[in-house]
Structure 1
Amino acid sequence: MDKYVILAQVGEGTFGAVYKARSKQTGEIVALKKMYNQNDEEGLSYFALQEIKYLKQLNGSPNVIHLIDSFIHEGENSTDDRRLNLLDVEGIKKACIVVVLPYYESDLVGAQTAFTGIREVKCAMQQILTGISSMHANHVMHRDIKPANMLMRDGEIAIADMGMTTSTNTTSPLPHQVVTLWYRPLELLFGANRYGPEVDVWSCGVLFIELMSRKCPFPGRTEHHQVELILELMGQSYIDQSEGLNKLSLYEKYMPKRELPRNSQLKRIFSSWADDALDLLLKMLCPAKQRWTASQLLDHPFFTNNPSPCSPKDVPKVPAMHEYEMKQKYHNQGRTTQRREEMTHAQGPPNKKQCLPTHAPMPRSQPRSLDKNKLHSGQEGYRHKVPVTGGSRTSEETSN
């Protein structure tokens, strides 16, 4: 760790934290991902070792973040270590694994406003599908595709966070509690333990709607709520067309008891989309065995029809920000608002010039409750209605 100067914390998760740092030797700005042990008895983190394994396997793949270095850090005996202790949530009294990665100034949560037109959306989706196609060609599935794991620098996107990544060649049963809840396909919600790269494709479909509309269509609060939101949009016919879905272990637990729309609502709700965009979506948000592969999706007319995807360098510049920084910003705004309201109560109402909004905007990762009838894209020609309600990313069965 004495080779780096920590500049700021830019990420935090279940298994550790991410820091922006500068190499003392080269001056290069990098990202240091520190992954802690879950307890003193477990030794080095399994998830950290898995991440390093797949980063090495995927090194050189297009639109996938590459590994610069990795090492074990004891957290003792250096000035930098002591400085790092000040930044860590829990400190580093025990060994942890540090992964050195290229630094990307934003993720798709922080850079969402860059995708203001269909050419920019095509550019982003083309890069994301290229990265996923490359992973799948290397017999690897990501299992946590979401905006926060899509890093961006100068319009170029790299898929990051391999903590949930696994091989597509395994013959063993797999856990179903993977993929962040909002981006989790129905087969996993119903408990499937035999699946493949198609789970990443579903997540891409959800992300595609988000890029087009700036709203997540399925912001479920629990697994049960997530299933309801998906089936309100996909209809009972989705179950009928999905081989074996009604035989999965959690089907009876989570299947809504109330009446559902008979058919898919996608064409009606997204009727203002261009035909090629809607068809691309239908190829991703469909039963598992019918989903196109990432490689097939890259050959879809959506990417060759006019207007063509813009170049990454032509994606509009936006202020550098990650999901973690957005959460911190809105948390601090919320605390400022609370303090201001306390002072107002004690001192009486301010004059009009002093008045500020009484509510800080919600961070992108925890959107406001949506109007059940509206989901706006923020761009001309892409306005549509989606029957969803707001929620948080929390889940009855935690998955990161």
Structure 2
Amino acid sequence: MEQYKRLKEIGRGSFGVVYAALNKLTGEVVAIKKLNLKYPSVEECTNLIEVKALGKMNHPNILSLKGVFKVNHIMYLVFEYMQCSLFQLMRVKTFSEDEIKNLCFQIFQGLAYMHANGYFHRDMKPDNLLLSKNVIKIADLGQARETNGKQPYTDYVTTRWYRAPEVFLHSSVYDPAVDMWAMGAIMAELFIRRPLFRGDSGGEVLYKICRVIGSPTESKWSEGLQLARNMNYRFPDHPGMPLASLLPSASSEALCLIATLLSWNPCLRPTAMEALEHPFFDSCNHVTPHVTPAIHLNQDLPWKQALLKQTRSSKSCAQLV
């Protein structure tokens, strides 16, 4: 840690704590995530889903991992520094539709790239979207999974207010469509500056979802009704309400996209690439995401070489390359 001067704490959670720090060698301000768990070996660290995923991705709308180092079995992840989260900004700012369009277009570009490269986030929420000036980036891939990963997946993912219905209903088979549901909730929140499906329990959130988009039917989502029967859950009977009454400042194009993202049936939600082609984004410049070749752990990643060098040495602190 001698290379860094700690400036301030900027985040804390079950994973550990995040600090803003100054790289004394380069003068760059970075964000350092100190993990709570101990990792005695290099392999354990490089197998962390966040490290593996970010090692395979490089996109202007995904937070970049700049390095990894270890001090006495405590792992530190070094990220680029961003000024604030979308959650923090929403507390003090009202967004115009053009601003919402710009922010969401960037997020969908990041998601399209992530999904194309074989990962989905599973914890999309305003806290995990970071901004500096006019750029927004997807952060915190600690809950991410490979799209072709081994199932079943855990059903305890995503902050409750942005959690897709299939996850609430304990589906063990789900896919990047959970990120798209979360984006529908986030887009709506950008218009009204409060969570659309705020609730203190899964049951309360599902009740509010039914009130907004109407309860599912056999024709809308028969698989979901079967999942509900499997856990002895009965959906409340609600016809739903017009989104325009809840989001009065949103254009018809915005309402159409949000409504499609908030589809009960995951198969009916657009992919991130399809969302980018929606008329809501007609005025935005579309950059097609490309698939990055997979990076294997035995390749010469600079931060991995630093970590290996540290492990072979007897020094107590790593030097980040």
User: Corresponding residue for 1:96?
Assistant: 74
How far, CA to CA, are the matches of 2:240 and 2:186 in structure 1? 22
SS at match of 1:109: helix
Aligned partner letter, 1:32: I
Query: In structure 1, what residue type is equivalent to 2:99?
Result: E
Residue 2 of structure 1: how far off its partner (Å): 1.1
Is 2:48 aligned against 1:49? yes
Equivalent-residue separation in structure 2 for 1:115 and 1:303 (angstroms): 20
Counterpart of 2:262 (choices 278, 285, 302) is 285
- Compute the displacement of 1:44 (Å): 8.8
Q: CA deviation at 1:241?
A: 0.6
- Deviation at 1:266? 2.8
User: In the alignment, which residue of structure 2 is the partner of 1:21?
Assistant: 21
Q: CA deviation at 1:47?
A: 10
Match of 1:234 among 196, 208, 213: 213
Q: How many residues are aligned here?
A: 283
Query: Aligned partner of 2:257: which letter?
Result: L
Could you say which structure has the larger radius of gyration?
Answer: 1
The match for 1:62 is: 60
1:297 aligns with 2:296: no
How much has 1:41 moved relative to structure 2? 10
Moved over 6 A (4+): 40-48
Residues 16 and 231 (structure 1), Cα distance of their counterparts in 2 relative to 1, 3 Å cut: same
Does structure 2 conserve the Cα–Cα contact (< 8 Å) formed by 1:237 and 1:262?
no
Task: Check the 8 A contact 2:152/2:172 in 1, yes or no.
Answer: yes
Distance 1:187-1:174 versus aligned 2 partners, 3 A rule: same
TM-score (norm 2): 0.81
Amino acid at match of 1:22: L
Question: Which of the residues 146, 149, 154 maps onto 1:170?
Answer: 149
Q: Which amino acid aligns with 1:53?
A: K
Q: What CA distance in whole angstroms lies between the structure 2 residues aligned with 1:135 and 1:250?
A: 34
Distance 1:114 1:279 in 2: 24
Once residues 37 and 43 of structure 2 are traced to their aligned partners in structure 1, the CA distance between those partners, rounded to angstroms, is 6
Distance 1:283 1:241, change over 3 A: same
SS across alignment from 1:11: strand
Partner secondary structure for residue 6 of structure 1: strand
- Cα 1:222–1:62 change in 2 (3 A) is same
Label 1:239 to 1:106 Cα distance change in 2 as closer, same or farther (>3 A). farther
Structure 2 residue matching 1:236: 3-state secondary structure:
coil
- In structure 2, the CA distance between the partners of 1:268 and 1:299, relative to structure 1 (3 Å rule), is same
1:195–1:264 Cα change, 3 Å? farther
Cα root mean square deviation, aligned = 2.5
Question: Can you list the C-alpha shifts for 1:95-137, whole angstroms capped at 9, x where unaligned?
Answer: 2210000000101011224552111111100011111111001
In 1, distance between residues paired with 2:45 and 2:167? 22
Map 1:309-328 → 2, pairs under 5 A = none
* Cα distance change of structure 1 residues 289 and 250 upon mapping to structure 2, 3 Å threshold: same
Q: Report sequence identity in percent.
A: 31
1:283 counterpart SS class? helix
Q: TM-score, normalised by structure 1?
A: 0.66
What pairs up with 1:1-400 in 2 under 5 angstroms? 1-37=1-37, 49-58=48-57, 60-74=58-72, 95-112=73-90, 113-114=92-93, 116-237=95-216, 240-248=219-227, 252-256=231-235, 259-263=236-240, 265-270=242-247, 273-286=250-263, 287-304=265-282
For structure 2, list consecutive stretches of 5 or more residues without a partner in the other structure: 286-321
How has the CA–CA distance of structure 1 residues 114 and 269 changed in structure 2, closer, same or farther, with 3 Å as cutoff? Answer: closer
Residue of structure 1 in register with 2:319 after alignment: none
C-alpha distance in structure 2 between counterparts of 1:63 and 1:177, whole Å? 26
Gaps of at least 5 residues in structure 1 are 75-94, 310-400
CA contact (8 A) 1:178 1:184 kept: yes
Separation of aligned partners in 2, 1:175 and 1:189: 11
